[in-house]
Structure 1
Amino acid sequence: MVLVLSGVLQEDPPPDSHTLFQNHPIYKDTVSQLLSVPTKVVGPVGLLYVQQRELAVTVPHDKNVTILGSDDATTCIIVVLRHSGSGAVAMAHLDGCGTEDCVSTLVQRVQEAALGYPEGRLELQLVGGFSDARNYSETLFYNIMYAFHRQLVEIDLTLACVGELNTTVRNNIHWPILYGVGMNVKTGELFPATFPDKGPDQALRYARHLTGGQQVLDVYDCNLGLLRIGPFNYDPLRGVDLWLEQTDEFILQHLSTSPEVEPPHFVMQIRATLKYIQDHPFPAVTVFRDNRPHYYRRDENSGQWTPIRY
Protein backbone atom coordinates (compact mmCIF):
# COMPACT_ATOMS: atom_id res chain seq x y z
CA MET A 1 0.00 0.00 0.00
CA VAL A 2 2.44 2.62 -1.17
CA LEU A 3 0.73 4.52 -4.00
CA VAL A 4 -0.57 7.92 -2.91
CA LEU A 5 -3.39 9.51 -4.92
CA SER A 6 -4.29 13.14 -4.17
CA GLY A 7 -2.69 12.80 -0.75
CA VAL A 8 -4.38 9.54 0.27
CA LEU A 9 -2.62 6.18 0.64
CA GLN A 10 -4.26 3.55 -1.59
CA GLU A 11 -4.93 -0.11 -0.85
CA ASP A 12 -5.14 -0.88 -4.58
CA PRO A 13 -4.24 0.98 -7.78
CA PRO A 14 -7.23 2.30 -9.77
CA PRO A 15 -8.54 -0.23 -12.33
CA ASP A 16 -8.36 2.34 -15.13
CA SER A 17 -7.69 6.00 -15.79
CA HIS A 18 -11.40 6.90 -15.99
CA THR A 19 -11.91 5.65 -12.43
CA LEU A 20 -8.85 7.60 -11.30
CA PHE A 21 -10.23 10.85 -12.74
CA GLN A 22 -13.72 10.23 -11.35
CA ASN A 23 -12.49 9.53 -7.83
CA HIS A 24 -9.74 12.15 -7.82
CA PRO A 25 -10.84 15.14 -9.93
CA ILE A 26 -7.73 17.10 -8.90
CA TYR A 27 -5.88 15.28 -11.69
CA LYS A 28 -8.09 16.98 -14.26
CA ASP A 29 -6.89 20.34 -12.93
CA THR A 30 -3.19 19.44 -13.09
CA VAL A 31 -3.59 18.10 -16.64
CA SER A 32 -5.39 21.32 -17.68
CA GLN A 33 -2.46 23.31 -16.33
CA LEU A 34 0.04 21.23 -18.31
CA LEU A 35 -2.02 21.45 -21.51
CA SER A 36 -2.24 25.24 -21.16
CA VAL A 37 1.55 25.51 -21.50
CA PRO A 38 2.73 26.14 -25.09
CA THR A 39 4.68 23.29 -26.65
CA LYS A 40 8.41 24.02 -26.84
CA VAL A 41 10.65 22.90 -29.67
CA VAL A 42 13.79 21.78 -27.83
CA GLY A 43 17.19 21.71 -29.52
CA PRO A 44 20.07 19.34 -28.78
CA VAL A 45 22.11 21.59 -26.48
CA GLY A 46 21.79 20.35 -22.90
CA LEU A 47 19.21 17.71 -23.93
CA LEU A 48 19.25 14.07 -22.90
CA TYR A 49 16.68 12.35 -25.10
CA VAL A 50 15.09 9.11 -23.91
CA GLN A 51 13.88 6.79 -26.64
CA GLN A 52 11.26 4.05 -26.45
CA ARG A 53 12.33 1.26 -24.03
CA GLU A 54 14.98 3.49 -22.48
CA LEU A 55 15.40 5.23 -19.13
CA ALA A 56 17.77 7.88 -17.78
CA VAL A 57 18.45 9.38 -14.35
CA THR A 58 20.13 12.65 -13.45
CA VAL A 59 20.39 15.37 -10.79
CA PRO A 60 20.03 19.19 -10.85
CA HIS A 61 23.77 19.85 -10.54
CA ASP A 62 24.58 17.73 -13.61
CA LYS A 63 26.44 20.21 -15.83
CA ASN A 64 25.85 18.05 -18.92
CA VAL A 65 22.05 17.82 -18.86
CA THR A 66 19.52 20.60 -18.41
CA ILE A 67 16.51 18.88 -20.02
CA LEU A 68 15.35 15.27 -20.01
CA GLY A 69 12.93 14.67 -22.85
CA SER A 70 10.99 12.13 -24.86
CA ASP A 71 8.29 12.29 -27.52
CA ASP A 72 6.58 10.26 -30.27
CA ALA A 73 4.45 8.61 -27.59
CA THR A 74 1.12 7.52 -29.06
CA THR A 75 0.05 4.41 -27.14
CA CYS A 76 3.27 4.62 -25.07
CA ILE A 77 3.50 6.42 -21.72
CA ILE A 78 6.38 8.64 -20.60
CA VAL A 79 7.14 8.14 -16.91
CA VAL A 80 8.83 10.82 -14.78
CA LEU A 81 9.85 10.04 -11.20
CA ARG A 82 11.35 12.86 -9.14
CA HIS A 83 12.54 13.22 -5.56
CA SER A 84 11.23 16.55 -4.30
CA GLY A 85 14.03 17.12 -1.78
CA SER A 86 17.08 16.50 -3.95
CA GLY A 87 15.62 17.09 -7.42
CA ALA A 88 16.99 13.73 -8.59
CA VAL A 89 14.83 12.73 -11.56
CA ALA A 90 14.31 9.77 -13.85
CA MET A 91 12.48 9.49 -17.17
CA ALA A 92 11.43 6.35 -19.04
CA HIS A 93 9.50 5.77 -22.26
CA LEU A 94 7.40 2.63 -21.77
CA ASP A 95 5.45 0.61 -24.34
CA GLY A 96 4.48 -2.43 -22.26
CA CYS A 97 7.78 -4.33 -22.35
CA GLY A 98 9.89 -4.59 -19.21
CA THR A 99 7.51 -2.42 -17.20
CA GLU A 100 7.94 -3.98 -13.78
CA ASP A 101 11.74 -4.22 -13.91
CA CYS A 102 11.94 -0.66 -15.21
CA VAL A 103 9.78 0.73 -12.40
CA SER A 104 11.92 -1.03 -9.78
CA THR A 105 15.05 0.39 -11.42
CA LEU A 106 13.61 3.93 -11.53
CA VAL A 107 12.76 3.88 -7.83
CA GLN A 108 16.14 2.43 -6.85
CA ARG A 109 18.15 4.81 -9.04
CA VAL A 110 16.30 7.95 -7.90
CA GLN A 111 16.66 6.93 -4.25
CA GLU A 112 20.39 6.37 -4.77
CA ALA A 113 20.79 9.76 -6.48
CA ALA A 114 18.86 11.43 -3.61
CA LEU A 115 21.05 10.00 -0.83
CA GLY A 116 22.49 12.66 1.47
CA TYR A 117 20.03 15.34 0.34
CA PRO A 118 17.15 16.89 2.28
CA GLU A 119 14.16 14.71 2.92
CA GLY A 120 11.49 14.73 0.27
CA ARG A 121 8.89 12.58 -1.39
CA LEU A 122 8.90 10.56 -4.59
CA GLU A 123 6.58 12.23 -7.10
CA LEU A 124 5.30 10.37 -10.16
CA GLN A 125 4.12 12.03 -13.37
CA LEU A 126 2.68 10.15 -16.35
CA VAL A 127 2.24 11.65 -19.82
CA GLY A 128 1.10 9.86 -22.98
CA GLY A 129 -1.27 7.18 -24.02
CA PHE A 130 -4.76 8.09 -25.18
CA SER A 131 -8.17 6.49 -25.73
CA ASP A 132 -6.95 4.27 -28.56
CA ALA A 133 -9.25 1.77 -30.27
CA ARG A 134 -7.30 -1.30 -29.11
CA ASN A 135 -7.01 -0.13 -25.50
CA TYR A 136 -3.21 -0.49 -25.51
CA SER A 137 -2.74 2.70 -23.49
CA GLU A 138 -5.22 1.74 -20.79
CA THR A 139 -3.57 -1.66 -20.26
CA LEU A 140 -0.16 0.01 -20.06
CA PHE A 141 -1.46 2.64 -17.61
CA TYR A 142 -2.76 -0.03 -15.25
CA ASN A 143 0.46 -2.06 -15.44
CA ILE A 144 2.55 1.01 -14.65
CA MET A 145 0.33 1.97 -11.71
CA TYR A 146 0.37 -1.60 -10.41
CA ALA A 147 4.17 -1.77 -10.66
CA PHE A 148 4.59 1.46 -8.69
CA HIS A 149 2.00 0.31 -6.16
CA ARG A 150 4.12 -2.77 -5.44
CA GLN A 151 7.18 -0.71 -4.48
CA LEU A 152 8.11 -0.57 -0.80
CA VAL A 153 8.19 3.22 -0.58
CA GLU A 154 5.44 5.82 -0.79
CA ILE A 155 5.07 7.27 -4.28
CA ASP A 156 2.82 10.27 -4.85
CA LEU A 157 1.07 10.46 -8.22
CA THR A 158 1.02 14.19 -8.99
CA LEU A 159 0.14 14.18 -12.71
CA ALA A 160 -1.64 11.73 -15.02
CA CYS A 161 -2.00 13.20 -18.51
CA VAL A 162 -3.24 9.90 -19.94
CA GLY A 163 -6.34 8.26 -21.38
CA GLU A 164 -9.36 10.49 -21.92
CA LEU A 165 -7.53 13.58 -20.59
CA ASN A 166 -4.90 13.20 -23.32
CA THR A 167 -7.40 12.56 -26.11
CA THR A 168 -8.98 14.80 -28.71
CA VAL A 169 -11.28 13.80 -31.57
CA ARG A 170 -10.75 14.83 -35.17
CA ASN A 171 -12.87 13.42 -38.00
CA ASN A 172 -14.23 10.76 -35.62
CA ILE A 173 -10.68 9.57 -34.86
CA HIS A 174 -9.16 9.70 -31.36
CA TRP A 175 -5.80 11.50 -31.28
CA PRO A 176 -3.29 12.09 -28.48
CA ILE A 177 -3.09 15.73 -27.41
CA LEU A 178 0.48 15.48 -26.14
CA TYR A 179 3.08 13.30 -27.83
CA GLY A 180 6.03 14.39 -25.71
CA VAL A 181 7.33 16.30 -22.70
CA GLY A 182 10.52 17.82 -21.38
CA MET A 183 11.66 18.09 -17.78
CA ASN A 184 13.87 20.99 -16.68
CA VAL A 185 16.15 19.12 -14.30
CA LYS A 186 17.22 22.33 -12.53
CA THR A 187 13.70 23.48 -11.65
CA GLY A 188 11.57 20.33 -11.91
CA GLU A 189 9.27 22.02 -14.45
CA LEU A 190 7.48 19.63 -16.83
CA PHE A 191 6.34 21.08 -20.17
CA PRO A 192 4.93 19.89 -23.52
CA ALA A 193 7.76 19.49 -26.02
CA THR A 194 8.97 18.14 -29.32
CA PHE A 195 12.55 17.16 -30.10
CA PRO A 196 13.76 17.41 -33.72
CA ASP A 197 17.17 16.04 -32.62
CA LYS A 198 16.76 12.75 -30.76
CA GLY A 199 20.42 12.18 -30.00
CA PRO A 200 23.09 9.89 -31.42
CA ASP A 201 22.75 6.31 -32.67
CA GLN A 202 19.05 6.80 -33.30
CA ALA A 203 18.60 3.97 -35.83
CA LEU A 204 20.67 1.58 -33.69
CA ARG A 205 18.63 2.37 -30.57
CA TYR A 206 15.37 1.99 -32.49
CA ALA A 207 16.56 -1.29 -34.03
CA ARG A 208 16.79 -2.92 -30.62
CA HIS A 209 13.07 -2.76 -29.87
CA LEU A 210 11.94 -3.13 -33.49
CA THR A 211 13.65 -6.55 -33.46
CA GLY A 212 12.08 -7.54 -30.15
CA GLY A 213 14.51 -6.39 -27.44
CA GLN A 214 12.34 -6.40 -24.31
CA GLN A 215 14.51 -4.69 -21.71
CA VAL A 216 14.24 -1.00 -20.82
CA LEU A 217 17.87 0.11 -20.97
CA ASP A 218 19.52 2.74 -18.77
CA VAL A 219 21.37 5.00 -21.22
CA TYR A 220 23.07 7.57 -18.97
CA ASP A 221 25.70 7.69 -16.23
CA CYS A 222 25.21 11.02 -14.46
CA ASN A 223 28.33 10.54 -12.31
CA LEU A 224 30.53 10.42 -15.40
CA GLY A 225 28.30 12.55 -17.63
CA LEU A 226 28.31 9.87 -20.32
CA LEU A 227 25.54 8.78 -22.67
CA ARG A 228 25.93 5.02 -23.06
CA ILE A 229 24.42 2.96 -25.90
CA GLY A 230 24.74 -0.84 -25.68
CA PRO A 231 26.25 -3.26 -25.97
CA PHE A 232 23.35 -5.42 -27.10
CA ASN A 233 22.56 -7.86 -29.85
CA TYR A 234 19.51 -8.62 -31.94
CA ASP A 235 18.66 -11.43 -34.30
CA PRO A 236 18.75 -10.69 -38.04
CA LEU A 237 15.30 -9.52 -39.12
CA ARG A 238 13.78 -12.01 -41.51
CA GLY A 239 12.44 -10.40 -44.66
CA VAL A 240 14.06 -7.00 -44.03
CA ASP A 241 14.65 -6.65 -47.79
CA LEU A 242 10.93 -7.23 -48.40
CA TRP A 243 9.97 -4.72 -45.72
CA LEU A 244 12.08 -2.06 -47.40
CA GLU A 245 10.30 -2.69 -50.70
CA GLN A 246 6.85 -2.01 -49.22
CA THR A 247 4.89 1.22 -49.56
CA ASP A 248 4.86 3.81 -46.79
CA GLU A 249 1.21 2.99 -46.10
CA PHE A 250 1.97 -0.72 -45.72
CA ILE A 251 4.76 -0.02 -43.25
CA LEU A 252 2.55 2.39 -41.31
CA GLN A 253 -0.33 -0.07 -41.06
CA HIS A 254 1.78 -3.06 -40.04
CA LEU A 255 4.48 -1.58 -37.79
CA SER A 256 2.48 0.85 -35.70
CA THR A 257 0.11 0.26 -32.79
CA SER A 258 -1.81 3.41 -33.82
CA PRO A 259 -1.31 4.02 -37.56
CA GLU A 260 -3.97 6.75 -37.83
CA VAL A 261 -2.18 9.11 -35.44
CA GLU A 262 1.54 8.59 -35.89
CA PRO A 263 3.71 11.71 -36.33
CA PRO A 264 4.69 12.49 -39.94
CA HIS A 265 8.28 11.22 -39.56
CA PHE A 266 7.27 7.75 -38.32
CA VAL A 267 7.68 5.86 -41.61
CA MET A 268 10.93 7.64 -42.45
CA GLN A 269 12.29 6.62 -39.04
CA ILE A 270 11.18 3.01 -39.56
CA ARG A 271 12.79 2.89 -43.00
CA ALA A 272 16.08 4.23 -41.62
CA THR A 273 15.96 1.60 -38.89
CA LEU A 274 15.20 -1.24 -41.31
CA LYS A 275 18.09 -0.11 -43.51
CA TYR A 276 20.36 -0.08 -40.44
CA ILE A 277 19.28 -3.63 -39.54
CA GLN A 278 19.91 -4.70 -43.15
CA ASP A 279 23.41 -3.19 -43.04
CA HIS A 280 24.19 -4.44 -39.50
CA PRO A 281 22.47 -7.82 -39.01
CA PHE A 282 24.86 -8.82 -36.18
CA PRO A 283 25.51 -5.73 -34.02
CA ALA A 284 27.43 -7.72 -31.40
CA VAL A 285 30.06 -8.35 -34.09
CA THR A 286 29.98 -5.28 -36.33
CA VAL A 287 28.70 -2.44 -34.12
CA PHE A 288 29.86 -3.14 -30.56
CA ARG A 289 33.40 -4.29 -31.26
CA ASP A 290 35.00 -6.14 -28.33
CA ASN A 291 31.61 -5.85 -26.59
CA ARG A 292 32.24 -2.16 -25.89
CA PRO A 293 29.37 0.33 -25.49
CA HIS A 294 29.16 3.47 -27.58
CA TYR A 295 30.00 6.32 -25.21
CA TYR A 296 29.20 9.97 -25.84
CA ARG A 297 30.19 13.02 -23.83
CA ARG A 298 28.90 16.57 -24.02
CA ASP A 299 31.11 18.74 -26.20
CA GLU A 300 31.82 21.98 -24.35
CA ASN A 301 31.84 24.07 -27.53
CA SER A 302 28.84 22.74 -29.45
CA GLY A 303 26.85 21.51 -26.45
CA GLN A 304 26.02 18.31 -28.35
CA TRP A 305 26.86 14.65 -27.69
CA THR A 306 30.13 13.65 -29.34
CA PRO A 307 31.51 10.10 -29.52
CA ILE A 308 34.45 9.05 -27.40
CA ARG A 309 37.00 7.45 -29.70
CA TYR A 310 39.07 4.53 -28.51
Structure 2
Amino acid sequence: MILVDDVPVVPGSDPPSPSQVLEILAALTDNPTLLSASHSFRNTPEKRFSISEESGLGSITQPKCVYVFQREYAIVDPALVDVVGTDEATTCVGLVIRNRSNGKISIAHLDSPAIVEMGLAQMLSQIFYHDLQDEMDVHVIGGFEDASLKRINHSDGSEIHGKVGGYSLPLCIKLIETLLRRQEKFHIQTFFVLGHNTRRDADGRAYPIITGFLVSRDIQWVCIPRLF
Protein backbone atom coordinates (compact mmCIF):
# COMPACT_ATOMS: atom_id res chain seq x y z
CA MET A 1 0.00 0.00 0.00
CA ILE A 2 1.30 3.44 -0.97
CA LEU A 3 0.40 6.55 1.02
CA VAL A 4 1.20 10.23 0.48
CA ASP A 5 0.37 12.70 3.26
CA ASP A 6 -1.16 9.73 5.12
CA VAL A 7 -3.70 9.28 2.31
CA PRO A 8 -3.72 5.87 0.57
CA VAL A 9 -3.11 5.78 -3.17
CA VAL A 10 -5.79 3.34 -4.22
CA PRO A 11 -5.75 1.75 -7.70
CA GLY A 12 -9.02 1.11 -9.47
CA SER A 13 -8.60 -2.66 -9.29
CA ASP A 14 -6.70 -5.29 -7.35
CA PRO A 15 -4.21 -6.15 -8.70
CA PRO A 16 -3.70 -2.83 -10.49
CA SER A 17 -3.68 -2.90 -14.27
CA PRO A 18 -0.60 -1.66 -16.17
CA SER A 19 -2.43 1.51 -17.19
CA GLN A 20 -3.40 2.18 -13.56
CA VAL A 21 0.21 1.77 -12.43
CA LEU A 22 1.30 4.28 -15.07
CA GLU A 23 -1.41 6.68 -13.96
CA ILE A 24 -0.35 6.39 -10.31
CA LEU A 25 3.29 6.87 -11.28
CA ALA A 26 2.39 10.07 -13.12
CA ALA A 27 0.26 11.24 -10.18
CA LEU A 28 3.14 10.72 -7.76
CA THR A 29 5.48 12.80 -9.89
CA ASP A 30 2.87 15.60 -9.92
CA ASN A 31 1.87 15.40 -6.25
CA PRO A 32 2.41 18.84 -4.61
CA THR A 33 4.01 17.43 -1.46
CA LEU A 34 6.39 15.22 -3.41
CA LEU A 35 7.10 18.04 -5.88
CA SER A 36 8.17 20.24 -2.97
CA ALA A 37 10.41 17.47 -1.64
CA SER A 38 11.91 16.98 -5.12
CA HIS A 39 12.66 20.70 -5.49
CA SER A 40 14.37 20.73 -2.11
CA PHE A 41 16.38 17.62 -2.95
CA ARG A 42 17.37 18.96 -6.36
CA ASN A 43 18.54 22.26 -4.88
CA THR A 44 20.85 20.53 -2.40
CA PRO A 45 24.40 20.36 -3.82
CA GLU A 46 25.61 16.85 -4.65
CA LYS A 47 28.89 17.14 -2.76
CA ARG A 48 31.57 14.51 -2.33
CA PHE A 49 31.16 12.55 0.91
CA SER A 50 33.62 13.72 3.55
CA ILE A 51 34.09 11.89 6.83
CA SER A 52 35.19 15.10 8.55
CA GLU A 53 32.08 16.95 7.41
CA GLU A 54 29.65 14.15 8.13
CA SER A 55 31.08 13.50 11.58
CA GLY A 56 31.36 17.19 12.44
CA LEU A 57 34.51 19.23 12.92
CA GLY A 58 36.35 18.28 16.04
CA SER A 59 34.68 14.91 16.37
CA ILE A 60 36.95 12.34 18.00
CA THR A 61 35.40 9.22 16.50
CA GLN A 62 34.82 8.61 12.82
CA PRO A 63 31.27 7.76 11.72
CA LYS A 64 30.43 4.13 11.01
CA CYS A 65 29.53 4.02 7.32
CA VAL A 66 27.91 1.48 4.99
CA TYR A 67 28.17 1.78 1.21
CA VAL A 68 25.74 -0.07 -1.06
CA PHE A 69 26.93 -1.12 -4.53
CA GLN A 70 24.73 -1.73 -7.57
CA ARG A 71 22.33 -4.67 -7.10
CA GLU A 72 23.04 -4.74 -3.36
CA TYR A 73 20.97 -3.90 -0.32
CA ALA A 74 21.81 -3.29 3.32
CA ILE A 75 19.90 -3.47 6.59
CA VAL A 76 20.96 -0.72 8.99
CA ASP A 77 20.47 -0.57 12.73
CA PRO A 78 20.77 3.11 13.71
CA ALA A 79 22.33 2.04 17.00
CA LEU A 80 25.30 0.61 15.10
CA VAL A 81 25.62 2.69 11.90
CA ASP A 82 25.85 6.46 11.40
CA VAL A 83 25.79 6.84 7.61
CA VAL A 84 24.57 4.69 4.72
CA GLY A 85 24.49 5.57 1.05
CA THR A 86 25.04 4.68 -2.58
CA ASP A 87 26.04 6.40 -5.81
CA GLU A 88 26.88 5.83 -9.49
CA ALA A 89 23.18 5.43 -10.20
CA THR A 90 22.23 6.62 -13.67
CA THR A 91 19.30 4.53 -14.88
CA CYS A 92 19.30 2.69 -11.54
CA VAL A 93 16.98 3.62 -8.67
CA GLY A 94 17.90 3.93 -5.01
CA LEU A 95 15.28 2.83 -2.49
CA VAL A 96 15.30 3.66 1.22
CA ILE A 97 12.75 2.19 3.63
CA ARG A 98 12.65 3.15 7.31
CA ASN A 99 10.41 1.44 9.83
CA ARG A 100 8.92 4.17 12.01
CA SER A 101 8.39 1.75 14.89
CA ASN A 102 11.86 0.27 15.34
CA GLY A 103 13.93 2.81 13.38
CA LYS A 104 15.63 0.17 11.23
CA ILE A 105 16.53 1.17 7.70
CA SER A 106 16.90 -0.81 4.50
CA ILE A 107 18.57 0.69 1.45
CA ALA A 108 18.96 -0.82 -2.02
CA HIS A 109 20.52 0.06 -5.37
CA LEU A 110 18.08 -1.44 -7.88
CA ASP A 111 19.12 -1.89 -11.50
CA SER A 112 16.44 -4.06 -13.10
CA PRO A 113 12.69 -4.71 -12.86
CA ALA A 114 13.50 -8.41 -12.59
CA ILE A 115 14.95 -8.04 -9.08
CA VAL A 116 12.37 -5.67 -7.59
CA GLU A 117 9.93 -8.16 -6.04
CA MET A 118 12.58 -10.41 -4.52
CA GLY A 119 14.71 -7.43 -3.56
CA LEU A 120 11.87 -5.70 -1.73
CA ALA A 121 11.00 -8.90 0.13
CA GLN A 122 14.62 -9.21 1.25
CA MET A 123 14.78 -5.55 2.26
CA LEU A 124 11.72 -5.93 4.47
CA SER A 125 12.71 -9.27 5.95
CA GLN A 126 14.72 -7.81 8.84
CA ILE A 127 13.03 -4.46 9.42
CA PHE A 128 9.41 -5.58 9.28
CA TYR A 129 8.07 -8.33 11.52
CA HIS A 130 4.71 -9.00 9.88
CA ASP A 131 2.98 -6.37 11.99
CA LEU A 132 0.77 -4.60 9.48
CA GLN A 133 0.41 -1.68 11.89
CA ASP A 134 4.04 -0.71 11.25
CA GLU A 135 4.43 2.38 9.08
CA MET A 136 7.31 2.73 6.60
CA ASP A 137 8.88 5.96 5.35
CA VAL A 138 10.06 5.51 1.77
CA HIS A 139 12.49 7.50 -0.39
CA VAL A 140 12.80 6.71 -4.11
CA ILE A 141 15.73 8.42 -5.83
CA GLY A 142 17.42 7.93 -9.18
CA GLY A 143 16.81 7.07 -12.77
CA PHE A 144 16.15 9.75 -15.36
CA GLU A 145 13.98 10.42 -18.38
CA ASP A 146 15.52 8.01 -20.87
CA ALA A 147 11.89 7.37 -21.85
CA SER A 148 8.95 9.60 -21.03
CA LEU A 149 5.40 9.38 -19.78
CA LYS A 150 2.98 10.93 -22.24
CA ARG A 151 -0.34 12.32 -21.08
CA ILE A 152 -3.05 12.21 -23.75
CA ASN A 153 -6.37 13.93 -23.13
CA HIS A 154 -9.51 12.50 -24.69
CA SER A 155 -12.99 13.93 -24.83
CA ASP A 156 -14.16 11.33 -22.32
CA GLY A 157 -11.33 11.88 -19.86
CA SER A 158 -7.60 11.70 -19.47
CA GLU A 159 -5.51 8.64 -20.16
CA ILE A 160 -1.85 8.10 -19.34
CA HIS A 161 0.30 6.30 -21.87
CA GLY A 162 3.83 5.23 -21.13
CA LYS A 163 6.58 4.91 -23.66
CA VAL A 164 8.07 1.95 -21.84
CA GLY A 165 11.55 2.08 -23.30
CA GLY A 166 14.95 2.73 -21.83
CA TYR A 167 15.75 1.43 -18.37
CA SER A 168 14.55 3.90 -15.74
CA LEU A 169 10.85 3.95 -16.58
CA PRO A 170 10.28 0.16 -16.57
CA LEU A 171 12.16 -0.03 -13.27
CA CYS A 172 10.01 2.70 -11.69
CA ILE A 173 6.84 1.08 -13.02
CA LYS A 174 7.76 -2.27 -11.49
CA LEU A 175 8.68 -0.66 -8.17
CA ILE A 176 5.38 1.21 -7.90
CA GLU A 177 3.43 -1.88 -8.92
CA THR A 178 5.18 -3.95 -6.25
CA LEU A 179 4.64 -1.38 -3.50
CA LEU A 180 0.96 -1.16 -4.43
CA ARG A 181 0.50 -4.92 -4.27
CA ARG A 182 2.05 -5.36 -0.82
CA GLN A 183 0.05 -4.97 2.40
CA GLU A 184 2.64 -2.94 4.28
CA LYS A 185 2.04 0.81 4.59
CA PHE A 186 4.63 2.71 2.54
CA HIS A 187 4.59 6.47 3.12
CA ILE A 188 6.36 8.08 0.16
CA GLN A 189 8.51 10.96 1.42
CA THR A 190 10.79 11.51 -1.58
CA PHE A 191 10.05 10.61 -5.21
CA PHE A 192 12.98 12.08 -7.12
CA VAL A 193 12.90 10.05 -10.32
CA LEU A 194 12.47 10.33 -14.09
CA GLY A 195 11.73 13.92 -15.17
CA HIS A 196 12.61 15.39 -11.78
CA ASN A 197 16.11 13.92 -12.09
CA THR A 198 16.73 14.92 -15.71
CA ARG A 199 18.82 17.63 -17.32
CA ARG A 200 19.47 18.07 -21.03
CA ASP A 201 22.45 19.33 -22.95
CA ALA A 202 22.38 21.71 -25.90
CA ASP A 203 21.55 18.83 -28.24
CA GLY A 204 18.63 17.66 -26.13
CA ARG A 205 20.36 14.56 -24.75
CA ALA A 206 19.11 13.60 -21.28
CA TYR A 207 21.35 13.03 -18.25
CA PRO A 208 20.64 12.40 -14.56
CA ILE A 209 21.07 15.32 -12.17
CA ILE A 210 21.68 13.30 -9.00
CA THR A 211 23.46 9.94 -9.02
CA GLY A 212 24.15 9.40 -5.32
CA PHE A 213 22.70 10.02 -1.89
CA LEU A 214 23.04 9.16 1.76
CA VAL A 215 21.00 9.04 4.93
CA SER A 216 22.59 9.64 8.30
CA ARG A 217 21.90 9.91 11.99
CA ASP A 218 22.95 13.59 12.09
CA ILE A 219 20.17 14.61 9.70
CA GLN A 220 17.49 12.38 11.24
CA TRP A 221 17.82 9.81 8.43
CA VAL A 222 16.62 12.20 5.74
CA CYS A 223 18.04 11.66 2.23
CA ILE A 224 20.51 14.18 0.82
CA PRO A 225 22.56 14.05 -2.42
CA ARG A 226 26.12 12.78 -2.03
CA LEU A 227 28.91 11.20 -4.07
CA PHE A 228 31.32 8.68 -2.57
AA of the residue aligned to 2:177:
Y
Counterpart of 2:14 in structure 1 is: none
In the alignment, the residues of structure 2 paired with residue 185 and residue 31 of structure 1 have an alpha-carbon distance, to the nearest angstrom, of 21
Query: 2:38 matched to 1:35?
Result: no
Deviations 1:221-249 (A, max 9, x none): xxxxxxxxxxxxxxxxxxxxxxxxxxxxx
In the alignment, the residues of structure 1 paired with residue 187 and residue 21 of structure 2 have an alpha-carbon distance, to the nearest angstrom, of 14
Structure 1 counterpart of 2:77, from 59, 62, 74: 59
Gaps of 5+ in 1: 196-310
More deviation, 96-105/72-81: 96-105
Query: 2:49 matched to 1:50?
Result: no
Please give the residue correspondences for 1:151-230 in structure 2 after superposition, counting only pairs within 5 Å. Answer: 151-171=182-202, 172-185=204-217, 187-195=220-228
Q: Percent identity?
A: 24
In the alignment, the residues of structure 1 paired with residue 118 and residue 27 of structure 2 have an alpha-carbon distance, to the nearest angstrom, of 26
Query: 2:98 matched to 1:100?
Result: no
In the alignment, the residues of structure 1 paired with residue 115 and residue 29 of structure 2 have an alpha-carbon distance, to the nearest angstrom, of 26
Query: 2:87 matched to 1:71?
Result: yes
TM-fit CA distance, 1:193: 0.3
In the alignment, the residues of structure 1 paired with residue 199 and residue 33 of structure 2 have an alpha-carbon distance, to the nearest angstrom, of 20
Deviations 1:133-176 (A, max 9, x none): 44311110010111122222211111100010111111211111
TM-score by length of structure 2 reads 0.75
Higher relative contact order (CA 8 A, sep 6+): 2
- Does the aligned pair in 1 maintain the 2:169–2:194 contact within 8 Å? yes
Q: Which has the higher helix share?
A: 1
In the alignment, the residues of structure 2 paired with residue 89 and residue 185 of structure 1 have an alpha-carbon distance, to the nearest angstrom, of 11
SS in 2 for 1:81: strand
Deviations 1:157-210 (A, max 9, x none): 111000101111112111111001001046212110000xxxxxxxxxxxxxxx
SS in 1 for 2:224: strand
Q: CA RMSD in A?
A: 2.2
In the alignment, the residues of structure 1 paired with residue 223 and residue 103 of structure 2 have an alpha-carbon distance, to the nearest angstrom, of 13
SS in 2 for 1:155: strand
- Does the aligned pair in 1 maintain the 2:134–2:184 contact within 8 Å? no
- Does the aligned pair in 2 maintain the 1:18–1:163 contact within 8 Å? no
- Does the aligned pair in 1 maintain the 2:128–2:134 contact within 8 Å? no
AA of the residue aligned to 1:176:
P
Counterpart of 2:5 in structure 1 is: 6
AA of the residue aligned to 2:32:
P
Q: Which has the higher strand share?
A: 2
Gaps of 5+ in 2: 12-19, 52-62, 148-164
SS in 2 for 1:32: helix
AA of the residue aligned to 1:181:
F
Structure 1 counterpart of 2:27, from 19, 26, 50: 19
AA of the residue aligned to 1:104:
A
SS in 1 for 2:127: helix
Larger Rg: 1
- Does the aligned pair in 2 maintain the 1:128–1:178 contact within 8 Å? yes
In the alignment, the residues of structure 2 paired with residue 167 and residue 152 of structure 1 have an alpha-carbon distance, to the nearest angstrom, of 32
TM-fit CA distance, 1:61: 0.7
TM-fit CA distance, 1:84: 2.3
TM-score by length of structure 1 reads 0.56
- Does the aligned pair in 1 maintain the 2:116–2:178 contact within 8 Å? yes
In the alignment, the residues of structure 2 paired with residue 151 and residue 95 of structure 1 have an alpha-carbon distance, to the nearest angstrom, of 20
In the alignment, the residues of structure 2 paired with residue 125 and residue 47 of structure 1 have an alpha-carbon distance, to the nearest angstrom, of 19
In the alignment, the residues of structure 2 paired with residue 90 and residue 100 of structure 1 have an alpha-carbon distance, to the nearest angstrom, of 15
Counterpart of 2:139 in structure 1 is: 125
TM-fit CA distance, 1:47: 1.9
